[in-house]
Copies of this chain bind each other. A is one copy, B any other.
């Protein structure tokens, strides 16, 4: 079992690392820069941030990279995001098929997947879905950017459409989207792109099948994703609306828009912001931390623990408290394998955050507890929101954040699998039992 699962995990890890190194080389070439120089470590940081679609940056993208440099970043984002969506959808399929017959039966009952898709058709569909959405998004953004009077509106529209759909959150403006904080059109287009990217391909495949009359209702996974995304963004919006002093002075409509946008940006892990993260209240930091840890949905471009894992854990808690014999969700039994994977993900996630924070606390004396906590959770969730300390990190701090972004993108579980030492065989094991 180990070799079967560790093999693809290692392949995935080396694939990502190769892609990052390619990006690093391209960003280090002089032709990617204007008159500014960016250090090797900062170029690596940006390359990792782009490939992992995090959006954290130690330098300002808009001023430190020229048009060619920005195109390189955009390509890294596009294929980082697209590759992740394809691979994670595949992984989702793989995990759900690489099982014993009995397990597979129960799992298939709980998470029905499109059986009628060949791999080639599947990849074509994902690519088509991605580019179609991005073109529609870029067109809409272009109109709103022109209306607003943005310079280079076309380039800005293309860049931010891709950056939003891939939940990368890279912005060409040093203040992210704070200058557009009252522009409903721009923020809603960005939100739609981010949510589409973060909910991912399973939803779209299901919607298409339903639309084409091949299915009478959404599949189980789609239902869970839709329900959880709505609850998380809705609840987050409400809490920010009520608890954040910074938005209290705004007119109700703009207050709602700002609250929604900030909850959306944390939950989808896109990571744009229209309010300054370093001035928000601790209560809202708490809300954003929770949303960032839970993260987006599987088979999308977003990061985090994933809404489906969170749903499985909620089902587990409810079932245990209600004393049920089996864990059920939406009237379906969730198999123990799923629960164990979700619990493992949570444990690995917490472990990564604790270890990274311990290192960051040792290397960054100047930064506050919550700024570093926020930075670490944001990096591991590939969100990219920050208290603005990214550029001030020490070299060791930057390397720690780079590590978190890579682990966050590969998925804590995939990463763990890639590094896991194969278990001893059954024979060796029973030998040990005898010896002890």
Asked if A343 and B339 make an inter-chain contact with CB atoms under 8 angstroms apart, the answer reads yes
Look across to chain B and name the residue whose beta carbon is closest to the beta carbon of A100.
B325
**Minimal beta-carbon separation of A12 from chain B (angstroms):** 15
Look across to chain B and name the residue whose beta carbon is closest to the beta carbon of A103.
B325
Q: In whole angstroms, what is the CA distance A191 to B229 when docked? A: 48
Query: Which chain B positions have C-beta within 8 A of A243?
Result: 358, 362
Q: Given A340-B339, A343-B316, A369-B369, answer yes or no on A323-B5 (Cβ-Cβ < 8 Å).
A: yes
Query: Which chain B positions have C-beta within 8 A of A73?
Result: none
- For residue A281, CB closer than 8 A to chain B, the reply is yes
In residues 414-433 of chain A, which contact B (Cβ within 8 Å)? 416-417, 420-423, 429, 432-433
Q: Which of A34-42, A182-190, A202-210, A283-291 contacts B (4 or more CB under 8 A)?
A: A283-291
Q: Which of A156-164, A172-180, A344-352, A391-399 contacts B (4 or more CB under 8 A)?
A: A344-352
In residues 372-410 of chain A, which contact B (Cβ within 8 Å)? 372-373
Q: In whole angstroms, what is the CA distance A421 to B321 when docked? A: 9
Asked if A285 and B369 make an inter-chain contact with CB atoms under 8 angstroms apart, the answer reads yes
- For residue A361, CB closer than 8 A to chain B, the reply is yes
Q: Given A420-B322, A423-B322, answer yes or no on A354-B286 (Cβ-Cβ < 8 Å).
A: yes
Look across to chain B and name the residue whose beta carbon is closest to the beta carbon of A353.
B286
**Minimal beta-carbon separation of A24 from chain B (angstroms):** 29
Query: Which chain B positions have C-beta within 8 A of A324?
Result: 1, 423
Look across to chain B and name the residue whose beta carbon is closest to the beta carbon of A3.
B323
- For residue A97, CB closer than 8 A to chain B, the reply is no
- For residue A50, CB closer than 8 A to chain B, the reply is no
- For residue A368, CB closer than 8 A to chain B, the reply is yes
Asked if B322 and A358 make an inter-chain contact with CB atoms under 8 angstroms apart, the answer reads no
- For residue A2, CB closer than 8 A to chain B, the reply is yes
Q: Given A283-B361, A286-B357, A370-B370, answer yes or no on A344-B316 (Cβ-Cβ < 8 Å).
A: yes
- For residue A214, CB closer than 8 A to chain B, the reply is no
- For residue A6, CB closer than 8 A to chain B, the reply is yes
Q: Given A4-B323, A433-B331, answer yes or no on A317-B286 (Cβ-Cβ < 8 Å).
A: no
Q: In whole angstroms, what is the CA distance A420 to B318 when docked? A: 9
- For residue A413, CB closer than 8 A to chain B, the reply is yes
Q: A308-337 CB contact bits vs B (8 Å, 1 = yes)?
A: 000001101100111111010001000010
Q: In whole angstroms, what is the CA distance A282 to B368 when docked? A: 9
Asked if B325 and A1 make an inter-chain contact with CB atoms under 8 angstroms apart, the answer reads yes
- For residue A341, CB closer than 8 A to chain B, the reply is yes
Query: Which chain B positions have C-beta within 8 A of A282?
Result: 361, 369, 372
Q: In whole angstroms, what is the CA distance A243 to B365 when docked? A: 12
In residues 75-110 of chain A, which contact B (Cβ within 8 Å)? none
Q: Which residue of B283, B320, B348, B429 contacts A341 across the interface (Cβ within 8 Å)?
A: B320
Q: In whole angstroms, what is the CA distance A46 to B354 when docked? A: 32
- For residue A436, CB closer than 8 A to chain B, the reply is yes
Query: Which chain B positions have C-beta within 8 A of A4?
Result: 323
Query: Which chain B positions have C-beta within 8 A of A281?
Result: 361
Asked if B358 and A283 make an inter-chain contact with CB atoms under 8 angstroms apart, the answer reads yes
Q: Given A286-B354, A344-B317, answer yes or no on A420-B323 (Cβ-Cβ < 8 Å).
A: yes
Mind listing 28 A-B residue pairs with CB under 8 Å? A1-B323, A1-B324, A239-B358, A281-B361, A282-B369, A283-B358, A285-B361, A285-B369, A286-B357, A286-B358, A313-B343, A316-B340, A316-B343, A316-B347, A317-B344, A320-B341, A320-B413, A321-B344, A321-B413, A321-B420, A322-B420, A323-B417, A324-B423, A336-B340, A339-B340, A346-B347, A369-B369, A369-B370
Known: A1-B323, A314-B347. 8 other contacts (CB 8 A): A286-B357, A286-B358, A313-B343, A317-B344, A320-B341, A321-B417, A322-B422, A343-B346
Kindly list the 6 A-B residue pairs having the minimum CB-CB distance in the complex, ordered from nearest: A2-B323, A283-B361, A343-B343, A1-B323, A369-B370, A282-B361
